[in-house]
């Protein structure tokens, strides 16, 4: 089975961005390790947004400074 987008089970608008029509969202998402985590293609992710891998139990948090998913305790992102 091919990779699919993570399922976003919750989101909340944190604030409107400086860019017209753009919002900053805090999201909670779930998927498999082979699936595609949410990106900033359609909206900006808020710091601390979360992505959980249901097959590995790993969790990731969005780092706005580096624009990447960070696994707590690991160096570098995903």
Whole-number percent of the chain with pLDDT over 90: 45
Sign, CA dihedral 30-3-65-76, equals positive
- For 42, phi then psi, to 5°, come to -115, -15
Between residues 22 and 39, the one the model is more confident about: 39
Mean pLDDT for all residues in the chain: 83
Q: Which of 24, 25, 28 is nearest to 10 (CA)?
A: 28
Per DSSP, the residues of 14-48 read: EEE-SSTT-EEEEEEEEE-TTSBPP-SSSSEEPTT
Between residues 10 and 66, the one the model is more confident about: 66
Query: What does the alpha-carbon distance between residue 41 and residue 33 come to, in Å, rounded to a whole number?
Result: 20
Between residues 43 and 31, the one the model is more confident about: 31
Give the predicted TM-score (pTM) of the model: 0.75
11: pLDDT strictly greater than 80: no
């Amino acid at each position: 089975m091919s990779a699919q987008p993570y399922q976003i089970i919750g989101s909340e608008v944190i604030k409107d961005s400086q860019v017209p029509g753009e919002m900053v969202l805090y999201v909670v998402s779930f998927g498999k390790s082979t699936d595609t985590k949410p990106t900033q293609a359609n909206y900006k992710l808020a710091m601390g947004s979360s992505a959980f891998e249901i097959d590995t139990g790993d969790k990731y948090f969005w780092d706005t400074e580096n624009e990447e998913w960070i696994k707590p305790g690991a160096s570098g992102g995903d």
